[in-house]
Structure 1
Amino acid sequence: MIRPEYGMFMYPEEASYMWFPARPKFEKKRYFFFGVLCGLSLFNCNVANIPFPLALFKKLLDQTPSLEDLKELSPVLGKSLQTLLDDRSDNFGEEFYIHFNVHWDKDDVDLIPNGSCIIVDQTNKRDYVSKYVDYIFNISIKAVYEEFQRGFYKVCDKEIIEFFYPEELKDVITGNTDYDWETFEKNAHYEQGYDNSHPTIVMFWKALHKLTLEEKKKFLVFLTGTDRIQVKGLKNMKITFCCPENLNEKDPIRAQTCFSALYLPKYSTMERVEEALQLAINNNRGFG
């Protein structure tokens, strides 16, 4: 549902956060059901790997998104509007020559009546930026966002949600990125003949710590189904190492994502451990 090619959400810049479309391709009820899914994720304490910006969580808490939030959603646009505000030159109009309209989600819209005929200058630029931000975060998405919000609060008690700050609500729903790998290793649990001093385990941790951050995040996807972690961080996540008798040196590493269990054969060389780990993270799908 959240993939760019699906079209339910828009991605203002490549690899950026996603946002509600100004021109939705789908009926509003889909956004209601998506809100229900997000609410259920929170209700069941499951991390949802959903790239919403902080602005969404502000809106859920009845707070108003700002230019800073636009910088997060669309850094290029946000910074260009900030440059406009910071400019104090006398030839402002000649430098920018922009009008009271907005190009967003493949559409041109006047921010005020006859906005395409009104030039932005030093006297009205703050009003222009304010209306621009309001259009993106509120006016353009009013119908679909209201359905999403209705679905979310169909599941969650708003009186309880209001105890959160936006940043906290975002972390609780989408997880955080506090990757403390040393603590992750210390909290590991070992079964079926493994312990923290077993040669294969020692080689495994050495190989994992050598990976780049992006590769380590791929390993989390392989192990748990997501590269996001719960609000308390990796210190609250325990990996369980298992080695059933039927596993041998030629078998790949497998994971049972529901239980963060890693089925690690008793590899005898560092080369084989690294090879198996690379195979796992580049085909990052465990099972169940």
Structure 2
Amino acid sequence: MFTYDESTKLFWFNPPSLENEAQFTLIGIVLGLAIYNNCILDVHFPMVVYRKLMGKLGTYLDLADSHPVQYQSLRELLDYEGDVEEDMMITFQISQTDLFGDPITYDLKEHGDKIPVSVDNRKEFVSLYSDYILNKSVERQFKAFRRGFQMVTNESPLKCLFRPEEVELLICGSRNLDFHALEETTEYDGGYNKDCCIIKDFWETVHSFGEEDKRLFLQFTTGTDRAPVGGLGKLKMIIAKNGPDTDRLPTSHTCFNALLLPEYDTKEKLKERLLKAITYAKGFGML
């Protein structure tokens, strides 16, 4: 249903997808329910998706984060100072591959294969190309996706009160992580309290982490590497005692933002066990 860009870490609609519209409608409903229930989803779309949900169309500038390779190529075309027609030999016909890897062509305008791109019409080419990539090629999928989103949000003042950036914030949370605010609001269970030596060691360890390890820790504990609206202080994380010193790794219940932490004997062991847990937390396994 979607493609994933490893460089941008973003999802985009897969134009040749064979999934029916109901599947995309369901995804839209899930995003709407995330807003309605104040839940953070670990799904990341480019900003143009939220702009389109607010009734706007994708444009050339939106390609910068959704399709950075195409954006760079189009920018080079616009900036090129030589003879575009002779040197680049581009027409108003573009080629893509279908789901099975076979090439398919699309005319950006009538008889596009016979119209060369030149200095005079290159802005038109860029505009039509961007419109095709962001709007026309995924029109079926996006209409179904937006229909599902609107099934939940249509009677709300979302379009009137929120900008696309704020809609993304409601669904995906904030990228700004204040772990001191998280420490202030964290609750403890199973015999731990904020004055325990291991809890003090734990927070010193977490605060010493780099940005990437902090995001891995948040992902491990809560299921997402972003903060809810209002910051990490709104998260209400729980740290519960999970037995005495052991070689077992910390575990978590992401549904409850709960970290199950054994009472390790040393700060060094705590850091080593915690880093191993958050680094190798993908998938399922038995310890």
For Structure 1 versus Structure 2, the TM-score category normalised by the shorter chain is 0.7 to 0.9
Distance 1:286 1:192 in 2: 27
Residue 150 of structure 1 and its aligned partner are, at CA, apart by 1.0
Q: Which residue of 2 aligns with 1:110?
A: 107
Would you say 1:129 and 2:126 are equivalent positions?
Answer: yes
Would you say 1:147 and 2:144 are equivalent positions?
Answer: yes
Residue 168 of structure 1 and its aligned partner are, at CA, apart by 0.4
Q: Which residue of 2 aligns with 1:202?
A: 200
CA contact (8 A) 2:43 2:172 kept: yes
Q: Which residue of 2 aligns with 1:35?
A: 28
TM-score by length of 2: 0.88
The DSSP-based 3-state class of the residue aligned with 2:106 is strand
Q: Which residue of 2 aligns with 1:249?
A: 245
The DSSP-based 3-state class of the residue aligned with 1:10 is strand
Count of residues in Structure 1 that have an aligned counterpart in Structure 2: 277
Closer/same/farther in 2, CA of residues 23 and 285 from structure 1, 3 Å limit: closer
Distance 1:256 1:22 in 2: 36
Residue 126 of structure 1 and its aligned partner are, at CA, apart by 0.8
Q: Which residue of 1 aligns with 2:162?
A: 164
**Over aligned residues, Cα RMSD in angstroms?**
2.2
Distance 1:98 1:68 in 2: 21
The DSSP-based 3-state class of the residue aligned with 1:19 is strand
When structure 1 is superposed on structure 2, of 203-212 and 28-37 the one drifting more is 203-212
Distance 1:44 1:53 in 2: 22
The DSSP-based 3-state class of the residue aligned with 1:262 is strand
Q: Which residue of 2 aligns with 1:92?
A: 84
TM-score by length of 1: 0.88
Q: Which residue of 1 aligns with 2:101?
A: none
Distance 1:143 1:158 in 2: 23
CA contact (8 A) 1:35 1:150 kept: yes
Distance 2:259 2:235 in 1: 13
Residue 284 of structure 1 and its aligned partner are, at CA, apart by 2.7
Distance 2:266 2:5 in 1: 46
Give per-residue Cα distances to partners, 1:157-212, cap 9 Å, x unaligned. 25522021000001111222111223222332234443333211121122222333
Q: Which residue of 1 aligns with 2:278?
A: 281
Residue 215 of structure 1 and its aligned partner are, at CA, apart by 2.0
Q: Which blocks of at least 5 consecutive residues in structure 2 are unaligned?
A: 99-103
Q: Which blocks of at least 5 consecutive residues in structure 1 are unaligned?
A: 1-7
Of 225, 228, 234, 1:227 maps to 225
When structure 1 is superposed on structure 2, of 38-47 and 91-100 the one drifting more is 91-100
CA contact (8 A) 1:31 1:147 kept: yes
Would you say 1:268 and 2:261 are equivalent positions?
Answer: no
Matches within 5 A, 1:1-12: 8-11=1-4
CA contact (8 A) 1:225 1:285 kept: no
Which has the larger strand fraction? 2
Of 36, 44, 54, 2:47 maps to 54
- What amino acid maps onto 1:108 in structure 2? T
